[in-house]
Amino acid sequence: MYKDLLVHVKPHEEWSAHIDLAMALGARFQARVTGLLPHENLAIAKLLAEGPGGGGALIKDLQAAADACAASLQDRFAERLNAHGADGELQVAEGRAHEVLGLAGRFHDLVVVEQTNLSQDDINWSTAEEAAVNSGRPTLIAPRHAPSDGAFARVLLAWNGSREATRAMHAARPIWEKADEVVLVSGPSREIAPSITRQPPGDIETYLRRRAASVTVVDDRVRDPEAAARILAVAAEAKCSLIVMGAFGRKGLSRLILGGATSRVFRDAPIPILTAH
């Protein structure tokens, strides 16, 4: 069950649909919604200033701008919470978005972020991906142009037997248990257990059928990068409103490197994605 939701609020945008999605989920699950407003420029200026309290006029100007932004968004955030019938508050942080979300997200049941838009999110372009991998918590990535009421009547579960897919499946259970249908896209397993000569009982289809209202199985054996195209195609054909999948990625020398299927679905999905790493 979700009791605490964290949603990314961008200082350079007046409002975003993913915030309303977080609030709709907050109302649905009677969860508290915390908006996190990170100011990166102010943090960088303070870090670059010489000595404590340095930076002079620049920091004062950036602080004034950050305070004005927060005051404006506080009223809007409270207004939208009231409209959704949800409880929550807006919090302010200083630092890069993916870092503050990664830390704060560890004390929440679900982190809600907006899908990366390379043409507009030129600063911290990987915020959604980094938050999904670094927070250690389930992350809901919402498309910019696909507002959702959080009903999620038909859920696609991308399954390959991995730990990441397992974490995502269990993290999304409060949602898919209440859905009208779960569409299971099953691919080849990523797990290697060379010592097993007799498989223990249990399979994903049986597990889902004991808990979901209805399960439709699509058995596919495609691998990266074809898996992403297949997941997106099945989601469209079945008219799914949510994709649940594991996030496969690792940290490179200076940035996050995602698996092929993960990267494409995160970038191209026209519906929200609930993921876990």
Instruction: Convert the pLDDT of each residue in 172-196 to its tens digit.
Output: 999 999 999 999 998 877 667 778 8
Positive or negative, the Cα torsion across 246, 130, 222, 200?
Answer: negative
Q: How confident is the model at residue 58 (pLDDT cuts 50, 70, 90)?
A: confident
Task: Find the DSSP H helices in 185-271.
Answer: 204-209, 226-237, 260-268
Instruction: Show the tokens assigned to 92.
Output: 């302010």
d(CA 138, CA 3): 13
Residue 236 has pLDDT above 90, yes or no: yes
Tokens standing for 144? Answer: 């910019």
Q: Where in the chain is the domain with CATH 3.40.50.620?
A: 4-142, 154-276
Domain at 4-142: CATH code: 3.40.50.620
Cβ(212)–Cβ(180) below 8 Å: no
More confident residue, 163 or 52: 163
Question: What is the DSSP code (8-state) at residue 213?
Answer: S
pLDDT value at position 187? Answer: 80
Residues 6+ apart with CB under 8 A from 229: 264
Structure tokens at 107: 């004390």
CATH among 3.40.50.1480, 1.20.120.1200, 3.40.50.620, 3.40.109.10 for 154-276:
3.40.50.620
The percent of residues above 70 in pLDDT, for the chain, comes to: 86
